[in-house]
Amino acid sequence: MKNLYKLSTSISLFFVILVFNSCHKNDYSEHLSLSDTFEINLVKEDGKVKINWTLVRSINFSEYRIYRIQDPDIYNYVYRSNYVIKNIQNKHQLSYIDDAPVYLGTNYYWIEIFDNRGVRTHTSNMLSISISEIRTFNYFPVNVIFDVEECLLGFNSDKGYGNSFTLYNFERDEIIIEASIFSPHARPAFGKYNGNTELYFPAPSQRIIIYNASNMSENNHMSLPNNRMAQSIAAADNGNIYVVERFGYYLYALNRTTGSALRFWQSYMDGSNQMIYSQKLSKLLSFNNSNDWSGFLISTALNSDGSINDYESNSKWVEGDYYSEFRFDPRNDDIYLFPNVKKFNANNLEEIPLNKPLYLNDIAFCEYFSYLAPLDQKKIIKKDLNDEVVETFELKGYPINVFKAKDKLVVIIVENRSQWPVSNYHLKGYPRNTPFGIEIIKL
């Protein structure tokens, strides 16, 4: 009887162990076979992004948290829960489709695993992907400059830290250089000297560095008197460079040939955010935002030797809403202020009345046509000399800038409408971290 009891106990224990193993064999063997390496990969799928990840050992699993950002520096932030796009409680779900990635700009993804105590136990690698078929950048462009002969586009990025200047060749779809710049509102300029296209770059060290624009090799440099810093630059094609100093009231005329630097008092030029040289008028045209709702339009006459002619220079106070930029139409010597468009004659700065209100981000001109970038439409409007609409070009986003190249339009676009006039006029009503793309329209 005693032996029978032992046999019965042994059989019962055997069945308990058998049942236990049958219930837990799969989980236990899976746990032993899994890796500690937590990795993701990304796949583009018709404007969406599929995130796949590996199954890893995780004790007391609670959830996956999937993150998407546009600024990779956020990856190092302590507080980043605002960037979670999905929480998944199923441990064995190993993929997710993000149907709302940023179209313009770069999408960065990573995943974290949390246990049932809310403790992060695993962090995956971070990968990036762009779903756009056009060139994109992650920060809104400030003070965009353009050179048609070398097919170059230059712009500053106002990141709030680590401000940079990017030079991009739109014909080759190639970034020539990304360089640090002391202020996003400092404006470089293209110019010609001895038949070569040069880039004049305001450096933090009170110097203007002169580059060969095609490859960004340094040719020379010039310094402003009294160690002043350059804010805005305009260049003539004869070696004359004109510079507005930062936090001051002086305009400098620098000569590439002689190395001279002459200083002229210009009381309304403090902080001028845009200045251009007109060979046709032999004048410098500039606009200074004195505050958020007004500014000074300035016409500075030049002598035959390139020096400043104070006696034939004038300025005009312009009242309005957040003027961000201006363009000069050499066909009829008109100046356009944006985005609430006002039109002036460049010779006497008299305002030219418009037939109806016009809201634009930019205009590009050629001999017989103008190309308008409307404030709130995803299109470019082509008009003739009679101001009649000839053609429209549909875009993938809202146009911020438009430039006319030899056989194409180069258009900077963003995904969303402008918040003008609520937001910063320097950024045309967009946050500084607004991604943008460069769309090319063949003519």
Condensed to tens digits (0 to 9), the pLDDT of residues 210-228 reads 999 988 888 888 988 877 8
Which one-letter DSSP state was computed for residue 187? Answer: B
pLDDT-based confidence at residue 426 (cuts at 50, 70, 90): low
CA dihedral for 295, 246, 326, 105, sign (positive or negative): negative
Q: Is the pLDDT of residue 86 over 60?
A: yes
Domains in the chain: ranges and CATH: 40-129 (2.60.40.10), 135-442 (2.130.10.10)
Give the rounded distance of the alpha carbon of 29 from its chain centre.
Answer: 51
Residue 162: per-residue pLDDT = 67
Give the pLDDT of residue 225: 81
Mean pLDDT score, 271-291: 83
Longest dimension (CA), the chain: 127
Instruction: Average the pLDDT over 14-18 and give the result.
Output: 42
Tokens of 392: 């429209």
pLDDT of the residue at 25 = 41
**Which two structure tokens, joined as six digits, stand for 156?**
């500053």
Provide, rounded to the nearest whole percent, the portion of the chain with pLDDT above 90.
50
Residue 274 pLDDT: 85
**pLDDT band at residue 19 using 50, 70 and 90 as cut-offs:** very low
At residue 289, the pLDDT reads 74
Q: What number is the average pLDDT over the span 204-208?
A: 80
In this prediction, residue 157 carries a pLDDT of 86
Q: List all residues 6 or more positions away from 75 whose beta carbon is below 8 Å from its beta carbon.
A: 69, 108, 110, 126
Assign 290 a pLDDT band (cuts: 50, 70, 90). Answer: low
What pLDDT digit, counting tens, does each position of 341-363 carry? 999 999 999 999 998 999 999 99
Q: Please give the pLDDT value at position 388.
A: 95
* Overall average pLDDT of the 389-407 stretch: 96
**240-266 per-position pLDDT tens digit:** 999 988 776 788 899 888 888 888 876
- Tens of pLDDT, residue by residue over 399-417, are 999 999 999 999 999 998 8
> Does residue 403 contact residue 90 with C-beta atoms inside 8 Å?
no
CA atoms within 13 A on the CB side of 401: 24
Is residue 287 within 8 Å of 326, Cβ to Cβ? Answer: yes
List Cα–Cα distances, 402 to 41, 80, 338, 364, 371, in angstroms. Answer: 37, 36, 13, 6, 7
pLDDT band at 229 (very low <50, low <70, confident <90, very high): confident
Task: Say what the pLDDT of residue 424 is.
Answer: 62
Instruction: Evaluate if residue 31 carries a pLDDT over 70.
Output: no
pLDDT tens, residue by residue, 40-61:
999 999 889 999 999 998 889 9
Does 204 have pLDDT greater than 80? no
